[in-house]
A and B are shown apart, each in its own frame.
Chain A
């Protein structure tokens, strides 16, 4: 027994290091990670479920870096969105109305990107940011904490309906309700602050500045494909900015190495306004 202890400790350390050479802070092994016959994590095992039998989306998720050339999404699948350009996968581009064309032109240079201004990220930005996000699934609601800019969303799953637009007030992240369609969580959101406010940071879907207006009706379909993979199909329905609804796909993978979310206070050392000539240097 005495001899086996250091061996086990050493093996644990080696395993931890091999999983994440980069992590420099204490790793707390995640509980409940399925193991294969070889004893290694099996991230392709079935998705976990909550006591009521629904898939449990809880976990810390990183977006994958996979991209697809425009027009190459497999038949029947929405094109993959990228952080910088959600329309990248569409050979013919997004179905802009003139309002959207004008806004995208004005946004060249991305000076008012909410992400850059330390404001709440737009839909798709928070799904695709290279920093992780944590989904906390509770019986009556799901909370998502986005590490980048410390965004927090609540998705009510208690059966309530969406409020009328503008009540009680438009939100940066909109108002979200979720329901289960088989094993897929369908989240619908409205009541967004949109580009028509004219305020810096309002109405950005991505880093390029593809816009949305107050008319946005957002539908996200979350499917935990297996233990390690999450797929989110996002439909943008905004008749003021686009001629038709369109859908893009986001892929995320579970963080299983024991690393955690890291505090991110965006205004801690913000120099974007100085470097772009909109605030005096200290």
Chain B
């Protein structure tokens, strides 16, 4: 087996707020293998986006700090790099696709300038040539009339088209890893399907790794090779996608899968809701963060925190119960 492209080890990210210190990401570890698509799923506040921002070192400091741990990427610990070195990696070796394409594209620059910028900057290619490459990129993400579109502005594009531009920008420097944070949440389903299929097709061609951050278990089932389920800042279960869906082991994963209405399911029964609500990150329980909502919680779950331990091949869960 080849070495993983990205190794996150014991990452902890905290924020200082008026209400006290908040642990958004609490001692998590995971690997992304070459060519793999890893989905990080979880509800709002589970720490999935903070994980992504931590990998890219985009956590605003203060109030946030990355405390300890290591993020190994291509043999380097990203946490030890200085700002200049980090900037050389961002957009070149690791690219990002954000949820909101309207606010992550610059409204006063043309599409061409924005897609060509990373090519010019990281590859030292003159602008004229970078523009040509940008047009190729836009064609690759199936934007018709790419050459003409270079001189248009983001507001002239629809939401789906802007997300295509984001993918073109992300792929422009042939990165090793793309982090896509809820890339299609703002889009309609028919457009979402087009964008995700396109992203999958292109990253498979280029053997790019993807960290796909989403709350939609359907998207995970469709596109991910493996899954990490986050809850209250921790990874509670991870494993190959098929394993997670067909044989979920953590009560939260089970609950989550059971609570989703399905277009092909039995709708005569009430949905199996998980009682209670997601935890308050400034006052996480001492033990398992899911314990207050868990049907199977025992004394031990209240007092000590379960470790992420193997329950099968490549399959891990953080739970005391079997």
Asked if A and B are interacting partners, one says: no
Chain A residues packing against B (C-beta within 8 Å): none
